[in-house]
A and B are shown apart, each in its own frame.
Chain A
Amino acid sequence: GAGVSQTPSNKVTEKGKYVELRCDPISGHTALYWYRQSLGQGPEFLIYFQGTGAADDSGLPNDRFFAVRPEGSVSTLKIQRTERGDSAVYLCASSLIPTTHLYNEQFFGPGTRLTVL
């Protein structure tokens, strides 16, 4: 079946501009996650959705970052007034159900590479 898809695969923008990154999770997955991976680092958690609501947004670095998931499926990560330090690969993942005590396999998309000039 189809995996997690993300669009665009690459995005180049100028400092100060607004960008939107889209994630289509695996059909039927109720949990959706956003991570950011800087060069040479592991992914860092940004935000987690359970259904339509953000259950944990503790990883968002500041109020320029915002994410929505209005119908409990597709999610959009929005970045306002982009800065050069926002350049990274933004990863989306989904899982069938969120679990706290059992394994929590998250299926990752290919990522969107954001470059802020």
Chain B
Amino acid sequence: GDSVTQMEGPVTLSEEAFLTINCTYTATGYPSLFWYVQYPGEGLQLLLKATKADDKGSNKGFEATYRKETTSFHLEKGSVQVSDSAVYFCALSGDGNNRLAFGKGNQVVVIP
């Protein structure tokens, strides 16, 4: 079945550092790919999306490119802020169904 794998462990970095969170997926057909973010005390929010190969999703300085050849959708931000501290989830919606499959999430802590 469809699945998403995120890199293990929390990520701690200093303000203005470069952030990368790896995400790879397994799916048949042509899934849509998403990054969701969960800020402390808040619900899951869609951060960005990409619906076909080579699409780049972007929002709030974050970017991710849908790479079908490597089945990846890595999240990047060039200069993080303390306010980016949150849990980030990679997810996919498989071709022909409506349910989201999520990765385990990565806690990101940005230190001033």
In the A-B complex, list the 6 residue pairs whose CB atoms are closest, starting with the nearest. A42-B102, A108-B44, A45-B99, A110-B43, A108-B43, A98-B98
**Which chain A residues numbered 36 to 81 have a C-beta less than 8 Å away from chain B?**
40-45, 48, 55-56, 59
B contact residues vs A (CB 8 Å cutoff)? 4, 30, 32, 34, 36, 42-46, 49, 51, 89, 91, 93, 95-105
A77 to B72, CA, bound (A): 34
* A46 CB → nearest B CB, Å: 9
Q: Assuming the A-B contacts A103-B51, A104-B32, are A43 and B44 also in contact, with contact meaning beta carbons closer than 8 angstroms in the complex?
A: yes
Which A-chain residue is minimally distant from B98 (CB atoms)? A98
A contact residues vs B (CB 8 Å cutoff)? 3-4, 31, 33, 35, 40-45, 48, 55-56, 59, 91, 93, 95, 98-111
Ordered by A's residue number, 19 sampled pairs between the chains whose C-beta atoms are within 8 Å are A4-B43, A31-B98, A33-B98, A33-B100, A41-B105, A42-B102, A42-B103, A45-B99, A56-B97, A56-B98, A59-B99, A101-B51, A103-B32, A103-B93, A104-B32, A104-B93, A105-B46, A108-B44, A109-B43
Which A-chain residue is minimally distant from B1 (CB atoms)? A58
How many A-B Cβ pairs are below 8 Å? 69
Q: Inside 8 A of B89's CB, which chain A residues have their CB?
A: 42-43
Of A41, A43, A91, A110, the most chain B CB neighbours within 10 A belong to: A43
* A99 CB → nearest B CB, Å: 7
Q: Are B99 and A91 in contact (CB under 8 A)?
A: no
Q: Assuming the A-B contacts A42-B104, A42-B105, are A104 and B42 also in contact, with contact meaning beta carbons closer than 8 angstroms in the complex?
A: no
Q: Are A45 and B104 in contact (CB under 8 A)?
A: no
